[in-house]
Amino acid sequence: MTRTTRGRLVRPVVVLGLVVAAHSVLAAPATAATTRSPAATTRSPTVAATTPVPAAAAALTTTRGPAADGPTTLAALYPVADAWVDSINPTANHGTGSYLKADGLPVAVAYLRFTVQGAGTDPSGVLRLHLETASSTGVEVRAVDDTTWEENTLTYHNAPPTGAVVGSSGPVEAGTWVSVDVSSLITGNGPVTFALTTGNDTGIRITSREGTQKPELLVPAPPNPSPYLVTRTGSTTYQAVSQVTGFTYTGRLKTVVESAVTELDGRGGGTIQFDSGTFDLGTDYFKLVEIDDVTFVGAGMDLTFIRNSSSASADTEPFNTKGAVRMVVRDLTVSAGGPARSTSDALDFDDGIDVLVERVRVNAARGRGIVFDGKNQGWSSTGNTVRNCVVTGTFSDGIELLSASRNTVSGCQINHVGGHGIQVNRSSSGADQPNKTSDRNLVTGNVVDHAGQDGVNVDGGEANQIMNNRITNSSDTSTGRDGIRITTPTGVPCLDNVVAGNVATDDQVIKTQRYGLYVASSECRTTVVGPGNDFAGNRSGTIRDAGTGTIYH
């Protein structure tokens, strides 16, 4: 099945970082709803369970859904055999070590055999693996028909053939638990074999049954745990607790949130809910890669605060995302502290599709407050919405749409930012997609005050609509800037942009905002100005027009 929004393959159902509380009875609350939203793929080291799974097979009694079909036993089964084989040493046996290995080149394949018990009449299962090394692609789980191989004699020469991929983890960090839904291979009680592979030429190490964090097969598969409630339990310790299953992650904020997100992403989406209070990442940040349908929600802009502070020469956004689809961030404040760095923002959505950011306050950022970026090869940031947000105290732009088309910014309040209040921007001439413009975006109903540069800046692009905004006192940091500026370099399209219903004025005693509107390049053609604009009261005048064929209403 392919993703309709971006054309990449949808990863089969994956459950990542699952922690099971042993021998406890957990009833799903009557109001337990599954809210669909964003997810993450970069994880962090060891996440501790509230109650660890014991060395022997553990059982969890739970109910499935509000009414429940009756209690079922969720057993954590351990391998009865595991080994790995490699093409470099085709006659070697690796059946007694503390780790397994999968590699794309040279080829290495890991095999695990379990004896399924308690499958029931509707068999299902989740395979949990502890990955000791990071991977940009993750591990694949494949079917294997042969269940008669022996771990002490298995070699590359005599290893059974592997079948189709039934699931994969996606990108992971070192020291991460990942889980893959293998229900299609669980047909009942008895032996079952899985093969672990990767298409990456960087090998992956997985803890074996001889290790301390041995593989597990959960039978039956647990229900979707959404929502996860994140709370602070100590000065640097946090918990994410499933409100459906009671599964709990404990550790650093980055660790517990990324683990819960990864699990939800693999289960079709869900909600990460932050309680009231301050959630401090320290120098960490959430790295969220290719997550779909995961929502991050706080208790309100004035109640939930997520912050970090870093001086690293790297992108350190508290919400650092790539390839997010239908992700939602709402009802919280984000603060990204540290010295100025142009690409270290507060919320960064690279290649974001249909993302919603609403009722979010940004009160500090090393770079921009909120940015949607579609400039790199294969990226397109489209269909995103930013609404009813508050942005202040950023070193650069309040909100930027960079090589991003068909997005909406509405109802936001932006003040005292170092760059433009809102910028609709093209990529640089040296980008992967050089001079890629932002087209057909709607910027409407926003209030911009004391922007360091232009209140609203459109640099290239076609059919962008700048409508019904109120812009005051721009050019607060850089001299000679305007309320609204439409511009482009030579050879970059700037066509049919619309400026209507806006107020752009300067009410200061010493005025800094030069013009209400400046169409700054003859390359900007057939810009539509009006009706309903009010550009009186600026330092130098109402409109300066250097465009070609500007249309006035």
pLDDT in tens, 140-185: 999 999 999 999 999 999 999 999 999 888 777 788 788 789 999 9
Q: Which two tokens stand for residue 400?
A: 């930027």
Q: CA-based Rg of the chain, rounded to a whole angstrom?
A: 27
114 CB contacts (<8 Å, ≥6 apart)? 77, 78, 79, 80, 191, 192, 194, 217
The structure tokens 């299609």 sit at 184
> Residue type at 448?
V
Q: What is the pTM of this model?
A: 0.80
Answer for the pair 126, 180: CB distance below 8 angstroms, yes or no: yes
CA distance 342 to 418: 11
Query: What is the pLDDT, as a whole number, of residue 75?
Result: 57
| DSSP states of 283-301 | T--EEEES-BSEEEE-S-T
* Of 266, 313, 308, the residue nearest 287 (C-alpha): 308
> What CA–CA distance (Å, rounded) separates 264 from 247?
12
Q: Which amino acid would we find at residue 499?
A: V
Task: Provide DSSP, 393-456.
Answer: SBSS-SEEEESEES-EEES-EEEEESS-SEEEEPPPTTSSSTTPPP-S-EEES-EEEEESS-SE
What tokens appear for 243 in the block?
């409100």
Sign of CA dihedral 43, 349, 267, 307: positive
Please report where in the chains the tokens 């995302």 appear, as a residue: 321
pLDDT at 257: 94
Q: How far apart are CA 4 and CA 304, in angstroms?
A: 34
Looking at residue 87, its amino acid is: S
Q: How far apart are CA 372 and CA 381, in angstroms?
A: 6
* Residue (of 428, 419, 455, 458) closest to 440 by Cα position: 458
Q: How far apart are CA 246 and CA 553, in angstroms?
A: 61
- Enumerate residue ranges in the chain where pLDDT < 70: 1-75
Does an H or E element contain 259, and which? helix 253-266
